[in-house]
Structure 1
Amino acid sequence: MEKLKHHIFVCNSARMNGEVKGVCNSKESIEIIQNFAEEISDRELDAEVMVTSTGCLGLCTQGPVVIVYPEGVWYGKVTPDDVEEIVESHIEGGEIVSRLEI
């Protein structure tokens, strides 16, 4: 695998004991993960961008939380509808989506 340009982490509220519960999971984090995967595939960015589901990130009041590396930008209260904008603006355009930034 070549070096990634971006790695996107999406909180899915999994706990250390394996339980999946919490704010992010209850607010469509699975759909957010799926939307990222589809957008990345549709834009043929598979070799450059990876999406990973994470356990609880501890910012439940800001959930669903998405982190984009290598920049280390944290987005909060992300909805499935925000995914296209994040991919287009941040991943492809290099511009942080300030309205979602934590």
Structure 2
Amino acid sequence: MTSPSATVAARRWLVQVCCHRSCDRGGSAAVLAAFREHQSSTILIAESDCMGQCSAGPTVKVMPGNTWYCRVTADDVPRIVSQHLQGGEPVRDRLHPRFHPFDPSL
């Protein structure tokens, strides 16, 4: 039987960072640079054009799972990498509420 952490570790991730005008003004270049420090054979980092979430930027989308993060800063990146990409658990306080409505039972 495979452990959950082994399954997460074997997964390949795509992290898209919006770098269009609004997100760029919010610091997406620093977010992109911070994610690129963690790029590996299992974590691909990609610069994205507008994702349509300008009021909530910088916006980051993680695939698989279609997980959307909003108002991401470079300081958030290590936690997203360790908790989500390495640990399999999305970072709840950065989840975009449009795509991930708050569930108080969690």
TM-score under structure 2 length normalisation = 0.78
Residue 32 of structure 2 is matched in structure 1 by: 33
| Percent of aligned pairs with the same amino acid | 32
Residue 51 of structure 1 aligns to a residue whose secondary structure is strand
Cross-structure match for 2:94:
100
Find the residue that maps to 2:94 and give its secondary structure: coil
Q: Report the residue type matching 1:94 in the other structure.
A: G
Name the residue aligned to 1:66.
60
The amino acid of 1:69's aligned partner reads: M
CA distance in 1, matches of 2:11, 2:91: 21
TM-score, normalising length from structure 1?
0.81
Which residue of 1 is the match for residue 17 of structure 2?
10
Structure 1 moving runs of 4+ over 3 Å: none
Letter in 2 for 1:68: V
Q: 1:60 to 1:52 in 2, by over 3 A?
A: same
Q: Are 2:79 and 1:85 equivalent residues in the alignment?
A: yes
Larger Rg: 2
Q: Which runs of 5+ in 1 are unaligned?
A: 14-21
What is the aligned length?
87
* 1:54 corresponds to 2:61: no
Describe the SS at the equivalent of 2:45. strand
Q: Which runs of 5+ in 2 are unaligned?
A: 1-9, 97-106
